[in-house]
Structure 1
Amino acid sequence: MTTAIPFDVYPLALGGNTFGWTSDEATSFDVLDAYAAAGGNFVDTSDSYSAFAPGNSGGESETIIGSWLASRNNRGNVVIGTKVSQHPDFRGLAASNIAAAAEASLRRLRTDYIDLYYAHFDDESTPLEETAGAFDALVRAGKVRAIAVSNYRAERIREWFAIARREGFAMPVAVQPHYNLVHRVDYERQVAPVVADENLAVVPYFGLGAGFLTGKYRTQADLEAGAIRGHMAKSYFNDAGLAVVDALDKIASARGVEMATVALAWLRGRPNVVAPIASARTLEQLPSLLASATFDLDGSERADLDAVSAR
């Protein structure tokens, strides 16, 4: 598939949200090493990971990734995607804030360029022209290779493109939406038409529904025992969601793979999706994620998942 994204990426993006949160530095290095050894080259993070964790202030994930890049001397082999607007010290998308946040991310990542820089959440209090101009300035300065948006409404993405074309600014090449087998409607009805019109690369997050699509949460007791991830998976826990889990289980059992592999392979096969994002808190969780990069559903399996998830 040819999209607007200007570099080749492995068809599974490794989520960096666990680094410095539920994965310490040593474990994070192990996961990153194994991902790279398998051919992986696309790491997703944010300047705000993991300010939400007690004792953290934001930037912990970038710091660990930067230390790993430096210790492995492999910066040129890795595509780094990071984001701006949610770090406690750099909230919003005013031009001065974007410039300062980018510099802070570059220091933590121990690099002089970011491959893919996302506007993490829209900031409607700042004129979109200002935001688009600030991202363009980073591209022109060579500090960012390409720009992208995450969690943006369709009309705001179209507005960004209109401004960029009018002003000669760099245009977004990718979007990062919440999209998976049990959360399809918002993306497919609203954002997917813009993606098709602009040939954007799609890098979905929550590809496994915070663990729900691994089969980990089949009862209320499972959710309650799941601590943070269980709380995040609650929105999927209903009869329709459990029907999707059953369908995944059937395919996974028949093919001798994990449910996570099947769920991510379905997502990888959707239009314009270049790499679903999935996180591995431990090394043991990584193989089933990596397997999705080369696992292909047959026509009937894909049709079954399309039908049950459409409910």
Structure 2
Amino acid sequence: MRLEDTNAFSGPIAVPRHATIGETGIEAIPLALGASVFGWTLGPAAADAVLDRFASLGGTIIDTADSYSSGRSEMIIGSWMRSRRTRDRMTIATKVGRHPDRFGLAPETIRAAVDDSLERLGTDRIDLLYLHGEDPSVPLAESLGAVGALMQAGKVGALGASDFSPDRLIEARVLAANGLPRIQALTTKYSLMERTPFEGAPELVAHAQGLAVLPYFALANGFLGGQVRRRSEVRHDARGARLAKHLGRRGHRVLAAIDEVAFAHDVQPAAVAIAWLLARPTVVAPVVGVSVAEQVESLLAAAAIELHRSELVELDRASA
């Protein structure tokens, strides 16, 4: 069951020009910069160039995690903010729960992980803190209580969930009704190539709760950028292996549909994939990682695209 059928749309569908993260008061352009590759495939200098370009074009949301490159991603972001004096302009979204030294969502682990992240980021607050996956060994009320204390202390601005199940989100909302912090945002895997399981119960719950959805792997590990179309072009590394799984009949069908729309709007294929996400009713800002600074501008073009009903229908059909 899907929340909305694009066949119901009529005329051009303009994507939002600004993203509002739940009831947090956070507003930004509808694209978040994913920093999972910082400290992994992107060193400090290359990451700084990407961040410079993103900020110069009005980007503000930076998505990272304490577990990305064992904290090096946060360190690179922190160093960049200090050197550029950009902290007050940026919205920092990070995650706790999967760092090897701070694993899980026990209250003491959350507190220690947040303090570690604050030190690496060189800041006194995290604007949006995600609980990074579920921890069935810890009552959710205890985890939320720990975040609530951090919010009262001014260390955390708002709460989000990463890869929470619909049942867990419902449980969290019941707890919030009893005074615990309310989850405002959800980050989960979602793209034209990976529409399930989000399109179903997760999307319905997100819509019912008014959650701001920030999908990661929005370009399916780069596949939807259209740069790699043959197995001979795939790099022999971890990222290449993730991308290669999309090479096949369905993948080529999706790329063909994207190419047609991209040509009509004079944009890069990746911008069409992002615009399709932004046309979904719960999505506010896809999380996209880039490998070179020049890619940032072409992705931001997605915010200026007005997709037509027929284009959305064709993209839906190709990716079904």
Q: Which moved more, 1:62-71 or 1:298-307?
A: 298-307
Unpaired runs of 5+ in structure 2?
1-15
- Structure 1 distance, partners of 2:315, 2:251, is 12
Q: Does the CA contact (< 8 Å) of 2:265 and 2:305 recur in 1? A: no
Matched, 1:39 2:49: no
SS in 2 for 1:209: coil
Matched, 1:202 2:213: yes
Q: Which moved more, 1:76-85 or 1:21-30?
A: 21-30
4+ runs deviating over 4 angstroms: none
- Structure 1 distance, partners of 2:49, 2:300, is 14
The residue type equivalent to 1:98 in the other structure is I
Unpaired runs of 5+ in structure 1?
51-57
Look up the match of 2:71: 59
Look up the match of 1:55: none
Matched, 1:153 2:153: no
SS in 2 for 1:275: coil
Look up the match of 1:283: 293
Matched, 1:269 2:275: no
The residue type equivalent to 1:107 in the other structure is E
Look up the match of 1:70: 82
Look up the match of 1:90: 102
How big is each residue's C-alpha offset from its partner over 1:247-303, in whole Å with a ceiling of 9 and x where there is no partner?
A: 001211232211101101111121121110111111132222222232232222122
TM-score (norm: length of structure 1): 0.93
SS in 2 for 1:248: helix
How big is each residue's C-alpha offset from its partner over 1:132-174, in whole Å with a ceiling of 9 and x where there is no partner?
A: 11111111111100000011111111111112212x0110100
Q: 2:248 aligns with which of 238, 241, 254?
A: 238
TM-score (norm: length of structure 2): 0.90
Deviation at 1:36, TM superposition (A): 0.6
Look up the match of 1:25: 44
Q: Does the CA contact (< 8 Å) of 1:31 and 1:286 recur in 2? A: yes
The residue type equivalent to 1:26 in the other structure is A
- Structure 2 distance, partners of 1:188, 1:266, is 14
- Structure 1 distance, partners of 2:139, 2:201, is 22
SS in 1 for 2:183: coil
Q: 1:137 aligns with which of 121, 136, 149?
A: 149
The residue type equivalent to 1:31 in the other structure is V
The residue type equivalent to 2:240 in the other structure is G
Deviation at 1:308, TM superposition (A): 1.7
The residue type equivalent to 1:193 in the other structure is L
Q: Which moved more, 1:149-158 or 1:239-248?
A: 239-248
- Number of corresponding residues: 301
Q: Which moved more, 1:58-67 or 1:297-306?
A: 297-306
Identical aligned pairs, as a percentage? 43
Deviation at 1:181, TM superposition (A): 0.5
Q: Which moved more, 1:280-289 or 1:12-21?
A: 280-289
